[in-house]
Amino acid sequence: MDLKDFSKNLRRIDFILIMVLILILTIGFLMVKSATNTINGGLETSKQIRWILIGIPILILFSLVDYHRLKNYSVFLYLVNLGFLISVYIFGQSALGAQRRIPLGSFVFQPSEFAKIILIITLAAFLSERKGKITKISDVLLAGLHIAVPWILIFHQPDLGTAMVLIAILFGMLLVAGTESKYLIGLIFIGIIGIVLIFNFNVLKDYQMKRLLVFVNPDMDPLGAGYNLLQSKIAIGSGRFWGKGLFSGTQSRLNFIPEHHTDFIFSVLGEELGFAGAFSLVVLYFVLITRGLRIGSLSKDIFGTLIAAGIVSMLLFQIFVNIGMTVGLMPITGIPLPFVSYGGSSMFANMMGIGLLLNVYMRRFK
């Protein structure tokens, strides 16, 4: 990109999207700081700052490199993605009954997080060749197969949360790609059958099954599998309208809520900032999602539209499930809250996603 193109694209930046992102990152940092202030002397807080600072140039890189070039490397990216996912079984580190991370010094690399972004790019490349109209069952099956191989590798780690995100991405992108309604209904029907088979053949680990059963009846195991959910509800409910005050939450700071700096970070926000703070974050997410949808509608080509659709599907599903599980509307799956939960891999992957949205927006003119 020459200086003239750089200057031109700079004037086309979606500054509303950037401002909303900055506000969400600020809230996330404050919540991580509050949740981890008594853990390891706040070591996670300094790491979260590092992840954000590293994520900024990643976002810039993914916004500046013309997204059309990525289409030429879709096969290579897909193979690299499979290589990373397979490497987890060789070099991966086991934690909490799952093997999904590879330790790289102080950074723990989680390939499944980056797999979401890569699959959005490669699936967009595949679907864009159909020119926005999926009318053949063979195209739907091929799109499903495109997701199926990495999905199996991720599900087997096991990482049920990310596996669910991939399904949401597939469905969202097929919808935007002009897939006929009968095929979408068929996919939903197949998904229901798959869920039934998973339960009947005991495919899930014991702790995953308990999480799903607790979702139906949280009181069945209040000191075991249902403990997280009950404590989360207590924390959010105790915050009332204005909250107990920033850094003044008792449920989180006294460690009543497990994983309160990652999976249950929204519980910390609800307790300390109350309904007002939680609603404000939801509004910011709403603006983020609507900007993503607008970017997709303004794209000059179907490839850009599909990339935007994939990013929006990914973020929307993660936001809905994470917030939903903290208040008992969704089962606990371990999906992080975008830009708010502590974690390097999720932060980098989400920054890549926003970078791609900015990329599509800057090149929206034909």
The rounded percent of the chain whose pLDDT value lies above 70 is 85
pLDDT tier at 152 (50, 70, 90 boundaries)? Answer: very high
- The pLDDT of residue 223 is 61
pLDDT mean over 1-5: 55
> Which letter does DSSP use for residue 365 in this model?
-
pLDDT at 218 over 70: no
Per DSSP, helices labelled H in the chain are 3-10, 15-36, 43-64, 67-71, 74-91, 111-128, 137-155, 160-176, 181-200, 206-216, 227-239, 250-253, 265-298, 302-326, 344-362
Question: Half-sphere exposure (CA, 13 Å, Cβ side) for 329?
Answer: 7
Cβ atoms within 10 A of the Cβ of 142, count? 14
Comparing 103 with 327, which gets the higher pLDDT? 327
Q: Fill in the amino acid letter for 274.
A: G
Q: Fill in the amino acid letter for 252.
A: S
| The 3-state secondary structure of 324-356, one letter per residue | HHHCCCCCCCCCCCCCCCCCHHHHHHHHHHHHH
Q: Which of 184-193, 247-256, 354-363 has the lowest mean pLDDT?
A: 247-256
pLDDT at 39 over 60: no
Q: Which of 25-34, 88-97, 296-305, 314-323 has the lowest mean pLDDT?
A: 88-97
pLDDT at 216 over 70: no
Q: Which of 263-267, 303-307, 361-365 has the highest mean pLDDT?
A: 303-307
CB under 8 Å, gap of 24 or more: what pairs does 221-227 form?
Answer: 227/258
- Its sign, for the CA torsion 65, 70, 72, 76, is positive
Question: Half-sphere exposure (CA, 13 Å, Cβ side) for 231?
Answer: 25
pLDDT mean over 116-135: 89
- The pLDDT of residue 136 is 85
pLDDT tier at 148 (50, 70, 90 boundaries)? Answer: very high
**Is the separation of the CB atoms in 112 and 100 below 8 Å?**
yes
Q: Which of 137-141, 227-231, 305-309 has the highest mean pLDDT?
A: 305-309
Distances (CA, A) of 212 to 96, 112, 202, 216: 17, 22, 13, 7
Q: Coil, strand, or helix at residue 131? A: coil
Q: Which of 4, 7, 15, 27 is nearest to 361 (CA)?
A: 15
pLDDT mean over 320-334: 87
> What integer best gives the mean pLDDT of the chain?
86
pLDDT at 322 over 80: yes
Q: DSSP string covering 271-310, please?
A: HHHHHHHHHHHHHHHHHHHHHHHHHHHH-SSHHHHHHHHH
Query: CA-to-CA distance for 332 and 213, rounded, in angstroms?
Result: 10
Its pTM stands at 0.91
Q: Which of 61-70, 76-85, 88-97 has the lowest mean pLDDT?
A: 88-97
